[in-house]
Structure 1
Amino acid sequence: MELKDRNKLRSKSIPATVTAASRAPVLLALKENAIRKRRICVYLKCIFAAIGMIFMVLEGELFISKTIEKNTLQSDALKMLITISTAILIVFIIVQYGYQRKIERFSGRSRRLRCCGGIIIEIFVCIIHPYPGSGKIPKPLQTMSKESADLTRDFVYLDAYLSLFMVFRFYLVGQFLSEWLASKLYSNRTLAKHLAYLTKVRLNSSFMIKYLLYLYPFQFVITILCLVLVVNSFAMQTCESYTFPGSEMSSFLNSLWLVMITFLTIGYGDFYPVSFCGRCVSAATGFLGIGITGFVFSVFVHHFEMNRNEKYLLKFSKEEKRKHKRRVAAANVIKCYYRAARCKEEKAKYLIWKEKFWRAASEMRRSAKKYGSSSDIDLIDIQQMIQSVEKRQNEILSILSELGKSVKSDQNANTAEVIDIAL
């Protein structure tokens, strides 16, 4: 009895086999939960990245305006806040990729190498920031000018280059837009994934950028232009002011003006970068200006391009205009021929209408040559119409002659009857 009871207990402890059909809703719910948590991680990443960049810009502007100095408590406190926000950002990057691994495991895919490469690149891009303490490096080789000859500081604070590397955090804007638009665009994300798999469309940041460019072309282009100008102006100001403090390029407005004329490939020469870093930023701005200018023109051309209905309307109006001109020319030929045929007995009028006929015929040939051949009116049709008009004219004349003969015969008969009655 003890052995039977033990077997009964063991059989009750063994779980029932779970089929794939009963497991699918559970996996789908877990996947949707992981997608929602990954989206929250992306939002928090963008928030803490923005906080770190705000503190970086604040510390740099205070130093450029000589309100604070390096190796002071205020500067180190701002850099400590940047470090704390960066550490939180790194934590959310790791958590996001953890949820990404869960999503891929629920989907039955394995992209471990890709995930590892992505997390390493993101951590490397985001971990570079101005740290507490003012590191210094020797000033790189500069081409000195008259304006920078009096600026004889032999070192450059390392914070300048570390601040420039923080600009690369703008890639998070693409992730933010991708997640936000995905949450707004897809009511059923699983169905959208299946449709994307069937149509071989990748639902990534590139697709979302194309989606924004398709819906809001002007707003998207203006936003990109403003972002490029502001970021490059900040980079130019940072390079010039840290390398040669007190120069004209320490002003943000002067840096913005230099970036704008470089972006438009004008180059007045009133301002120019002196530092090696500033010249690199200027060269990058020139290349961006060439590419984005062509992109802007293509957007405007595509936006003002006629759609299919407008093209059909234009084609229809041109076709009707062409047909009208050819019909008018053909009608003039018929009219002149008919008037010349009626005026054969009067030689002067006949010559006038004959000349008008050949002029109308030449005008019809020119219109046929200019507007192309058409199936509605052709020279053969004109000849057939003229022959039908001549035939109808002959029929009318014959009928009139018969009517005249019958009238004369009736008059003769009536006169004969009158004479008989009178006699």
Structure 2
Amino acid sequence: MTSHRILIITLELLVCVIHPVGSYWEMAIHVNSSSFSSSPLCASHHDSKPLQNLELLLSMLMFLRLYLVHRTILLHSKVLLSASYRSIGSLNNINFTFRFVLKVLMNKHPARTLLVFILFFWLTASWMLTLCERKTQASTGYMDTALWLIAITFLTVGYGDVAPNTSCGKGVCLFTGVMGVACTAMLVAIVTEKLALNKGEKHVHFFMLDIQISKRIRHAAANVLRECWLLHRTSLTKAHRGEHRRHQRCLLEAIRVFRHLRLKQRKLRDYVSEMVDLPKMQMIMCDLSANWNNSYRELEQRILSMEQKLDELTLCFQQTSELLSEALAHRHHAENR
């Protein structure tokens, strides 16, 4: 067991040990009746401010136990329980943490996951606000008012009818506003992704746009020819000068419309060609990488064969040198005799 693991276990034990001192507070039910005086959700019968602050601090620290939620999600997720996920993840050096599980859930069920998170955060922040505001005897100490205040703060509406009175409550509302902005951005991204066209729908849409633009180009070309003929006829018949200028303006307008449509068609076809070329480029890159791998393997085999041949040549040279040395030794011995 490593020191990091021991530290985590110690922190978990400390978080589980934290609990407010229950002798200083008692629960009170808010009743809308004239015979009962209204009281907040939790009220203190002691005027000792240090004890109240200690009680509030311990109550807020109890929310650290929410780490058990993400651990429960991790342990009961299909990602961790699936053997195929674990095997493929181990091959790719993927750690199955809560972050990975959350990314998988956001990819598979983005709207459902975000909705559950918003509801969970709404209830948690409302309860934290009641804990912060319970000693002020204000309306924000009630759960219904806290739910309303957290909701309008999360949605960044802020009607101004209810406001926190303590620094702790203001901090909770500030954090709620920041989380509301972040969740709103995520919601906009999810809705945009859902409303976006997929690849097949884009091809159909752009194909129909191309057909429509082609029809409009033919009509614009026909208008250009018609205005040219009318202008030529008015110049031959020497009609009124105002009519001649009118046909000139109509001809220029028809040419402008024709050029605009041609430019629009060119941009559309360029965009479609880029969409088509991207998969082709990916296929080409895959083929090139496969060819490079094959060439690398062939080169390795050739290098190995060359090494084997060099070893054989080295062995032959050694044998030849030994034979030469033996022959020279025999010759020297014969000469001595």
TM-score, scaled to structure 2: 0.59
The residue type paired with residue 207 of structure 1 is: F
1:293 corresponding residue in structure 2: 184
Structure 2 residue matching 1:272: 3-state secondary structure: coil
Taking a change above 3 Å as real, the CA distance of residues 115 and 152 of structure 1, as seen in their structure-2 partners, is: closer
1:217 corresponding residue in structure 2: 110
Q: Quote the offset at 1:183 in angstroms.
A: 5.2
Taking a change above 3 Å as real, the CA distance of residues 189 and 333 of structure 1, as seen in their structure-2 partners, is: closer
**d(CA) in 2 for partners of 1:225 and 1:163?**
22
Q: Quote the offset at 1:230 in angstroms.
A: 0.7
**d(CA) in 1 for partners of 2:213 and 2:152?**
50
1:366 corresponding residue in structure 2: 257
**d(CA) in 2 for partners of 1:336 and 1:270?**
67
Please list, as runs of the form range in 1=range in 2, the aligned pairs for 1:133-148 lying within 5 A after superposition: 133-134=23-24
User: Contact (CA 8 Å) 2:80, 2:86: kept in 1 or not?
Assistant: no
Please list, as runs of the form range in 1=range in 2, the aligned pairs for 1:300-311 lying within 5 A after superposition: 300-311=191-202
Please list, as runs of the form range in 1=range in 2, the aligned pairs for 1:21-40 lying within 5 A after superposition: none
Please list, as runs of the form range in 1=range in 2, the aligned pairs for 1:4-403 lying within 5 A after superposition: 112-130=2-20, 133-134=23-24, 153-155=47-49, 156-157=51-52, 158-182=54-78, 186-197=82-93, 201-241=94-134, 243-244=135-136, 246-333=137-224, 347=237, 359=250, 362-372=253-263
**d(CA) in 1 for partners of 2:46 and 2:7?**
43
Structure 1 stretches of 4+ moved >4 Å? 131-135, 332-341, 346-349, 355-362
**d(CA) in 1 for partners of 2:262 and 2:11?**
63
**d(CA) in 1 for partners of 2:229 and 2:172?**
81
Taking a change above 3 Å as real, the CA distance of residues 365 and 264 of structure 1, as seen in their structure-2 partners, is: closer
Taking a change above 3 Å as real, the CA distance of residues 163 and 122 of structure 1, as seen in their structure-2 partners, is: same
Structure 1 residue matching 2:47: 3-state secondary structure: coil
User: Contact (CA 8 Å) 2:74, 2:98: kept in 1 or not?
Assistant: yes
Q: Quote the offset at 1:323 in angstroms.
A: 1.5
User: Contact (CA 8 Å) 1:259, 1:282: kept in 2 or not?
Assistant: yes
Taking a change above 3 Å as real, the CA distance of residues 232 and 337 of structure 1, as seen in their structure-2 partners, is: closer
The residue type paired with residue 75 of structure 2 is: E
Structure 2 residue matching 1:218: 3-state secondary structure: helix
Structure with higher Rg: it is 1
Q: Quote the offset at 1:374 in angstroms.
A: 6.2
Q: How many residues align?
A: 243
Structure 1 residue matching 2:19: 3-state secondary structure: coil
Q: Quote the offset at 1:328 in angstroms.
A: 2.1
Q: Quote the offset at 1:333 in angstroms.
A: 4.6
Structure 2 residue matching 1:130: 3-state secondary structure: coil
Taking a change above 3 Å as real, the CA distance of residues 327 and 208 of structure 1, as seen in their structure-2 partners, is: same
User: Contact (CA 8 Å) 2:154, 2:180: kept in 1 or not?
Assistant: yes
The residue type paired with residue 117 of structure 1 is: L
Taking a change above 3 Å as real, the CA distance of residues 154 and 265 of structure 1, as seen in their structure-2 partners, is: farther
Q: Quote the offset at 1:373 in angstroms.
A: 7.5
Percent identical pairs in the alignment equals: 23
1:24 corresponding residue in structure 2: none
Structure 1 residues 10-46: Cα deviation after superposition (integer angstroms, max 9, x where no partner): xxxxxxxxxxxxxxxxxxxxxxxxxxxxxxxxxxxxx
**d(CA) in 2 for partners of 1:298 and 1:126?**
37
User: Contact (CA 8 Å) 1:329, 1:360: kept in 2 or not?
Assistant: no
Q: Quote the offset at 1:237 in angstroms.
A: 0.8
TM-score, scaled to structure 1: 0.48
Q: Quote the offset at 1:232 in angstroms.
A: 0.9
Taking a change above 3 Å as real, the CA distance of residues 327 and 178 of structure 1, as seen in their structure-2 partners, is: same
Taking a change above 3 Å as real, the CA distance of residues 324 and 284 of structure 1, as seen in their structure-2 partners, is: same
The residue type paired with residue 264 of structure 1 is: L
